[in-house]
């Protein structure tokens, strides 16, 4: 059953005139008649008949007209939906730590929304562990995380590298060496799902010791810095998170840890061709590099 025959039937049924239908469709009258005959033959039903000088729909014609109207409404909706998918629009959910949300992403998102006004970006503050889970569960479209590896289902876009630092307040560092801090001072820790977990574990394993005591303050860089500045203890944190405080002289970097931390954007490979994800990832790559410079 050809769609052009159904479209011709729909037009004839609405005009109840072969002549008017031919004019609307841009066909000759014989073409319209042949298409109507082909459709009636295929369906084994007479669809339109004449009563005197007037054309009327048969019972089969009325039934078919209802179905054809529904079909073309659905087709128009399908075409509209597919057209919208060609251009970025709707919501874009991005999961990232408080540091990335506050220090890096806000100006990037503002510029992106200016370039793509039909997209509304929503930030979800999550640590790297939960941000990764949110992408896997389709809660977030993209996550900005530290120390994530590409897998069979997850694609990553490397954004930057930074060192993790052992830090303490300048006040505390003036009175204690690194050795004494490790031996005598509490370690200020993120929660158990910290993206630095493997780095922290390797650091203490390398020094063949564990913290004498650990104070868990949560999952944000801000809480770690606040505890450090209040002389609660020492911490391991990304250099970008404390760059300002080090420049101000209120936090001191006691040691730089290798290897470096890799920050990446990640998303599901199965969704990489979606317009919102494609355009934001491209935008993010360029904007992040400019911000870093």
CATH number at residue 69: 1.10.10.10
Of 40, 67, 86, the position where a domain reaches its end is: 86
My answer on whether 126 and 171 are in the same domain is: no
> Domain containing 49: what range?
3-86
Which pLDDT score, from 0 to 100, does residue 293 have? Answer: 47
Handedness of CA 21, 25, 28, 32 (dihedral sign): negative
Question: Which helix (H) or strand (E) segment is 121 a member of?
Answer: strand 119-125
My answer on whether 65 and 135 are in the same domain is: no
Which pLDDT score, from 0 to 100, does residue 291 have? Answer: 57
For residue 25, CA distances in Å to 11, 107, 258, 287 come to: 8, 52, 72, 50
My answer on whether 139 and 173 are in the same domain is: no
pLDDT digits (tens, 9 = 90+) for 26-83: 999 999 999 999 999 999 999 999 998 899 999 999 999 999 999 999 999 898 877 7
Is residue 88 over pLDDT 90?
A: no
My answer on whether 174 and 46 are in the same domain is: no
pLDDT digits (tens, 9 = 90+) for 127-148: 888 899 999 999 999 999 987 7
Contact 118, 89 (CB under 8 A): yes
Query: At 98, which CATH number?
Result: 3.40.190.10
Angstrom distance (rounded) from CA 57 to CA 45 = 11
Of 69, 86, 103, the position where a domain reaches its end is: 86
My answer on whether 52 and 124 are in the same domain is: no
Angstrom distance (rounded) from CA 114 to CA 25 = 42
Q: What's phi and psi for 43, nearest 5 deg?
A: -90, -10
My answer on whether 107 and 167 are in the same domain is: no
Query: At 240, which CATH number?
Result: 3.40.190.290
Those residues whose C-beta lies under 8 Å from the C-beta of residue 117, and which sit 6 or more positions away, are: none
Percentage of the residues of the chain whose pLDDT score is greater than 70? 97
Angstrom distance (rounded) from CA 240 to CA 244 = 8
My answer on whether 111 and 73 are in the same domain is: no
Angstrom distance (rounded) from CA 204 to CA 196 = 12
pLDDT band at 209; cut points 50, 70, 90 = confident
Which pLDDT score, from 0 to 100, does residue 144 have? Answer: 94
My answer on whether 274 and 189 are in the same domain is: no
Angle, helices 29-43/3-15, rounded to nearest 10 degrees? 110
Model pTM? 0.65
Percentage of the residues of the chain whose pLDDT score is greater than 90? 61
Q: First vs last Cα of the chain: how many Å apart? A: 61
Those residues whose C-beta lies under 8 Å from the C-beta of residue 91, and which sit 6 or more positions away, are: 119, 120, 121, 122
Is residue 244 over pLDDT 70?
A: yes
Number of H helices, E strands in the chain: 13, 10
My answer on whether 13 and 44 are in the same domain is: yes
My answer on whether 82 and 97 are in the same domain is: no
The two structure tokens encoding residue 238? 């990304």
My answer on whether 152 and 267 are in the same domain is: yes
pLDDT band at 253; cut points 50, 70, 90 = very high
* Counted domains in the chain: 3
Of 36, 64, 86, the position where a domain reaches its end is: 86
Give mean pLDDT, residues 157-172.
93
My answer on whether 197 and 54 are in the same domain is: no
Is residue 272 over pLDDT 80?
A: yes
Which pLDDT score, from 0 to 100, does residue 121 have? Answer: 96
């Amino acid at each position: 059953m050809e769609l052009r025959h159904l479209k011709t039937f729909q037009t004839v049924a609405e005009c109840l005139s072969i002549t008017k239908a031919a004019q609307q469709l841009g066909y000759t009258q014989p073409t319209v008649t042949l298409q109507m005959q082909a459709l009636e033959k295929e369906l084994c039903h007479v669809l339109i008949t004449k009563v005197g000088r007037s054309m009327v729909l048969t019972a089969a014609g009325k039934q078919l007209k209802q179905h054809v109207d529904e079909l073309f409404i659905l087709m128009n909706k399908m075409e509209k939906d597919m057209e919208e998918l060609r251009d970025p629009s709707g919501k874009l959910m991005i999961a990232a730590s408080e540091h990335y949300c506050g220090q890096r992403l806000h100006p990037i998102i503002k510029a992106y929304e200016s370039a793509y006004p039909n997209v509304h970006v929503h930030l979800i503050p999550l640590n790297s562990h939960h941000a990764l889970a949110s992408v896997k569960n389709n809660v977030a479209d993209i996550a900005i995380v530290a120390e994530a590896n590409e897998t069979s289902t997850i694609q990553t876009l490397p954004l930057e590298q930074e060192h993790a630092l052992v830090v303490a307040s300048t006040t505390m560092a003036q009175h204690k060496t690194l050795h004494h801090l490790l031996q005598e001072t509490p370690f200020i820790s993120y929660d158990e799902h910290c993206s630095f977990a493997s780095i922290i574990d390797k650091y203490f394993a390398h020094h063949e010791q564990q913290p004498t005591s650990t104070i868990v303050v949560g999952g944000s860089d801000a809480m770690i810095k606040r505890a450090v500045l209040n002389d609660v203890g020492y911490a391991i944190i990304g250099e970008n998170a404390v760059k300002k405080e080090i420049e101000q002289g209120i936090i001191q970097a006691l040691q730089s840890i290798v290897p470096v931390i890799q920050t990446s954007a990640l998303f599901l490979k199965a969704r990489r061709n979606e317009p919102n994800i494609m355009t934001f990832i491209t935008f993010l790559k360029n904007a992040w590099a400019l911000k870093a410079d």
